[in-house]
């Protein structure tokens, strides 16, 4: 039963996932707290044409991805200050154009159509040491940033209008958060792909939010949950010969549904005991 864990590529995948779990736990909670799910999705999906271009032109893929992702996160995130979900016509349409550009580049310009699926849904079992290093770096940066800026991100999220009135709100911490969202989106790309980034960055944090009332316990719970979901997902994917990124996404969603159902059916039992 445990044979999958003896395979070297599985072991590498697990290391990657544990690092990404740290990311999912810290950054993911900020994303959910500040309502940045759509910007996170947009940043990751926007990376798709960047990756295809980088691949085709022969330079480091993460760079191409990060550039596009950053552009998107900043653009969308700024709008999120005004609109509730950060989803508005312009960004939604530009995102569609980015995806269209990506597929055109892949099919008709660089003829790399074969890699489209792994770019869109991840190739967790084929990651290299570069991907692991990127995940480690991203996790470290996010941890450090949380240490320094966490209180501010919390305050701004709690009452944006009051923060502004008190003159506390400098745009820098929030902008930095968006940069980190872009970084996180790119870091998870190799694992879950451009279209399933929210499976790691949003779903576990959303799940644990259902029973957490304080930020730090919430983040810890999310790291544990994300690690567990990732491990189980990889194991199941190897056993079933299924794509690992998608498997993790489905497991994460199923856990969310179970927790949500449990909360709805037995509210007192699942009350937070912060």
Contact positions vs other proteins (CB under 8 A):
32, 35, 37-38, 41, 84-85, 87, 89-90, 92-94, 96-97, 99-101, 103-104, 107-108, 113, 116-117, 120-121, 195-196, 198-199, 202-203, 206, 209-210, 240-243, 245-250, 252-254, 256-257, 260, 263-264
The nearest distance, CB 48 to other proteins, in angstroms, is: 10
For residue 148, give both structure tokens: 């320094």
Rank residues 144 and 166 by Cβ distance to other proteins and give the closer one: 166
The nearest distance, CB 8 to other proteins, in angstroms, is: 22
205 near 24, Cβ under 8 Å?
A: yes
Rank residues 22 and 200 by Cβ distance to other proteins and give the closer one: 200
Rank residues 61 and 202 by Cβ distance to other proteins and give the closer one: 202
For residue 153, give both structure tokens: 């991100």
Residues 6+ apart with CB under 8 A from 212: 218, 221, 272, 274
The nearest distance, CB 84 to other proteins, in angstroms, is: 6
Rank residues 106 and 136 by Cβ distance to other proteins and give the closer one: 106
Rank residues 83 and 130 by Cβ distance to other proteins and give the closer one: 83
Rank residues 141 and 217 by Cβ distance to other proteins and give the closer one: 217
**Radius of gyration over alpha carbons of the chain, in Å?**
18
> How far, in Å, CA of 31 to CA of 123, rounded?
24
146 near 128, Cβ under 8 Å?
A: no
The nearest distance, CB 12 to other proteins, in angstroms, is: 20
Residues 6+ apart with CB under 8 A from 171: none
Residues 6+ apart with CB under 8 A from 81: 160, 174
The nearest distance, CB 60 to other proteins, in angstroms, is: 25
Rank residues 146 and 198 by Cβ distance to other proteins and give the closer one: 198
**Of 77, 103, 62, 91, residue with least CA distance to 186:** 62
Place of tokens 């003159």: 167
> How far, in Å, CA of 255 to CA of 108, rounded?
40
Residues 6+ apart with CB under 8 A from 106: 52, 112, 113, 115, 116, 119
The nearest distance, CB 215 to other proteins, in angstroms, is: 13
The nearest distance, CB 61 to other proteins, in angstroms, is: 20
Residue length, the chain?
A: 274
């Amino acid at each position: 039963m445990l044979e999958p864990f003896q395979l070297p590529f599985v072991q590498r995948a697990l290391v990657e996932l544990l690092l990404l779990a740290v990311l999912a736990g810290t950054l993911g909670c900020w994303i959910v707290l500040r309502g940045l799910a759509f910007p996170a999705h947009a940043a990751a999906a926007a990376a798709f044409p960047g990756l295809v271009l980088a691949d085709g032109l022969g330079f480091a893929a993460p760079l191409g991805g990060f550039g596009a992702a950053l552009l998107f996160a900043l653009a969308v995130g700024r709008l999120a200050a005004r609109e509730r979900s950060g989803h508005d016509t312009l960004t939604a349409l530009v995102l569609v154009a980015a995806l269209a550009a990506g597929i055109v580049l892949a099919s008709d310009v660089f003829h790399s159509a074969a890699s489209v699926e792994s770019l869109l849904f991840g190739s967790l079992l084929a990651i290299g040491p570069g991907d692991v290093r990127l995940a480690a770096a991203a996790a470290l940066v996010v941890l450090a940033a949380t240490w320094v800026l966490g209180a501010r991100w919390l305050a701004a999220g709690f009452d944006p209008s009051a923060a502004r009135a008190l003159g506390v709100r400098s745009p820098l911490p929030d902008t930095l958060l968006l940069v980190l969202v872009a970084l996180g989106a790119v870091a998870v790309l190799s694992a879950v792909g451009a279209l399933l980034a929210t499976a790691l960055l949003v779903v576990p944090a959303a799940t644990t939010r259902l029973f957490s009332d304080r930020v730090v316990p919430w983040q810890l719970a999310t790291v544990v949950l994300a690690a567990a979901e990732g491990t189980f997902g990889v194991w199941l994917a190897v056993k079933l010969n299924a794509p690992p990124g998608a498997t993790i996404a489905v497991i994460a969603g199923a856990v969310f549904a179970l927790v949500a159902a449990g909360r709805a059916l037995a509210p007192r039992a699942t009350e937070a005991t912060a």
